[in-house]
Structure 1
Amino acid sequence: MVQYYHVCERELWFMSRGIDIDRETTNIQRGTHVDETSYQDSRSSFMIDDRIQLDVLDSGDIMEVKVSSKLEKPARMQLLFYLWYLQEVHDIRKDGVLAYPKERKRESVTLDETASEQVESTIEGILRVVSREQPPELEKKPYCDACLYQDLCWM
């Protein structure tokens, strides 16, 4: 939900209602393939509290793998949420790595006080959006044409 919130609140609202996208589309399959095949030898996946699946590098850092850096803020916020959750719920402090294997780009992500406040603000925003009776107003964004929810929005 964190990533959806930072991409499109309307998309978050649809997803929160169980209105899901077609997981068999080319874009979704490409993302899944990159996630499943990148850094295989140096990371493992773990389920935390039956709700969050984390990828952990051999170094102990939490990793988030994305196909492209075009939507960098949502990906960064998702990773920061994982780091925040581990710290706030389990008192585990970890650093993160945001990776874009197709672009050969990796960056370190650290949860500091400012980032914690951003995550908490995001959680409040998510709760505000999903509690609404109606979806948020339409807002044309540069990536709407590639969104899998576009038929719901622009019918």
Structure 2
Amino acid sequence: MKKSLAVLALFAVAGVALAQSAGESPGPRRAHGDLFAERDGNKDGRISLAEWQQGEQARQKAMFERIDADRDGLVTREEIQKQRGQRHERMRAQRDQRRDRMEKLRELDKDGDHALSRTEIGDRLPKLAENFERLDGNRDGKLTREEIRAGRSKMRGEPAGK
């Protein structure tokens, strides 16, 4: 069971590289610093209650405008249901894409050692192959889940281990 979970985790993390090599975005993620910068209106390095509320108001306005499909300034139950259905459909499509990427990564791990060698990656994941040396922290010629995760976190500006 632990072995299966380790394989799935490796492939889930490496899926970002597969998505990037396919030209897809790994999804909307905002680094924590960006939220702070957005809310710190006067750029003094601190967020006042008024700045926080202005940020929330802007976020709520954007959400309202996304739901208000006919742009009449009013939201109907049907518009909310339609937007909810669209969101569920996007989530379903993303889940399917992740599942497909994980399957492709499982196929790449020819020797079943839960790590990807340069040979296994080949030219199927150009971004991962391009960054192989940088990601291979222990220089063993294989990328583990942890090495790929650390590289992904570093590229996103997150602390390692996220």
- Asked whether the two chains share a fold, i.e. TM above 0.5, the reply is no
- The answer to which structure has the higher strand fraction is 1
Higher relative contact order (CA 8 A, sep 6+): 2
TM-score by length of 1: 0.30
